[in-house]
C-alpha cells in the first residue's frame, strides 16, 4: 500500500460518522435512509460518506427492491496497522538515503588514502568527518590521552584540534580516568 493510500484509508476511519457507518455495516448490510435514521444524519450526509468509503473499496453496493444496499468489504480492513507502518516509507526513506549520499560526498571530499586532507570549516561537514574518525574508537573502552592522540594522528597531524572538537561535538567524553567514545 502506498503512503497516499494509507492516508486515504485512515482519513476514512478518522471520522465519527464514517466509523459508525462501518461498524453498522460490520453487523449487517444497510441502505442510506436507514443509516441516516440510525446515526441521526441526513441521507445527503450518509451518501457523502458512502462515496468516500467506496472510493477506497471499503464498501460495495447492490440494488434490492427500492433500496441500494451497502455492505462492508472486510478484506480491505484485514490488516494490522503495524504492518502498514513497517512498509517502506517513500519520502522519509528517500530523505535518509539522500542524507547518506551527502555524507559520503563529504567523506570522499575530505579523506584521501585514509587520511584527512583538511579540517572542514563548515560545522555540519566537520561533524560528519569527526563521526568518521570516531569509528576508530571502540565503544565502551577507556583510552588514555596518549592513545587518543596516536589514533587521531593516523588521520591528521592536528590531533589537538580534532580531539577538542570531538569532545565539544559530544562524540567523546572524558574524566580523570581518560577518554571514551559516546556515539
Partner DNA sequence: AATTTAATTAGATATATATAAAATTAATTA
Partner DNA sequence: TAATTAATTTTATATATATCTAATTAAATT
Q: Which residues bind a second copy (CB under 8 A)?
A: 3, 6-7, 10-11, 13-16, 19-20, 22-24, 26-27, 37-40, 65-66, 72, 74, 77-82, 85-87, 89, 91-93, 95-96, 99, 170, 182
Is 36 or 111 the residue whose CB approaches DNA more closely? Answer: 36
Q: Say which entry of a second copy, DNA, none residue 182 contacts (CB below 5 to 8 A, set by partner kind).
A: a second copy
Task: Select from 34-42, 87-95, 105-113, 144-152 the region that touches DNA (CB under 7 A).
Answer: 34-42
Is 108 or 176 the residue whose CB approaches DNA more closely? Answer: 176
Coil, strand or helix at 161: helix
Measured on CA atoms in the order 47, 51, 52, 57, is the torsion positive or negative? Answer: positive
**CB-based contacts of 60: which residues, under 8 Å, 6+ apart?**
54, 70, 71, 73
Binding of DNA by 122 (CB under 7 A): no
Measured on CA atoms in the order 78, 81, 87, 93, is the torsion positive or negative? Answer: positive
Q: Say which entry of a second copy, DNA, none residue 10 contacts (CB below 5 to 8 A, set by partner kind).
A: a second copy
Q: Say which entry of DNA, a second copy, none residue 5 contacts (CB below 5 to 8 A, set by partner kind).
A: none
Residue that the C-alpha cell 449487517 belongs to: 28
Binding of DNA by 71 (CB under 7 A): no
Please state the φ and ψ torsions of residue 28, each to the nearest 5 degrees: -160, 155
Q: Which of 4, 16, 91, 113 binds DNA (CB under 7 A)?
A: 16
- Mark residue 101 as left, alpha or beta (left: phi above 0; alpha: psi -120 to 50; beta: remaining): alpha
Grid cell digits, residue 50? 458512502
Q: Measuring CA to CA, how many Å separate 181 from each of 49, 133, 144, 166? A: 57, 11, 12, 9
Binding residues for DNA, per CB under 7 A?
11, 15-17, 31-33, 40-52, 61, 63, 65-68, 167-168, 170
Amino acid at each position: 500500500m502506498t503512503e497516499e493510500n494509507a492516508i486515504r484509508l485512515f482519513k476514512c476511519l478518522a471520522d465519527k460518522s464514517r466509523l459508525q457507518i462501518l461498524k453498522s455495516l460490520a453487523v449487517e448490510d444497510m441502505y442510506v435512509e436507514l443509516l441516516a435514521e440510525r446515526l441521526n444524519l441526513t441521507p445527503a450526509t450518509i451518501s457523502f460518506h458512502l462515496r468516500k468509503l467506496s472510493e477506497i473499496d471499503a464498501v460495495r453496493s447492490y440494488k434490492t427492491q427500492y433500496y441500494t444496499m451497502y455492505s462492508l468489504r472486510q478484506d480491505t480492513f484485514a490488516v494490522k496497522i503495524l504492518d502498514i507502518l513497517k512498509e517502506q516509507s517513500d519520502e522519509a526513506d528517500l530523505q535518509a538515503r539522500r542524507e547518506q549520499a551527502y555524507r559520503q560526498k563529504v567523506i570522499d571530499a575530505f579523506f584521501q588514502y585514509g587520511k584527512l586532507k583538511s579540517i572542514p570549516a563548515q560545522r555540519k561537514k566537520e561533524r560528519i568527518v569527526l563521526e568518521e574518525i570516531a569509528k576508530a574508537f571502540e565503544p565502551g573502552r577507556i583510552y588514555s590521552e596518549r592513545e587518543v592522540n596516536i589514533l587521531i594522528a593516523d588521520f591528521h597531524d592536528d590531533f589537538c584540534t580534532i580531539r577538542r572538537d570531538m569532545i565539544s561535538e559530544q562524540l567523546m567524553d572524558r574524566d580523570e580516568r581518560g577518554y571514551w567514545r559516546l556515539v
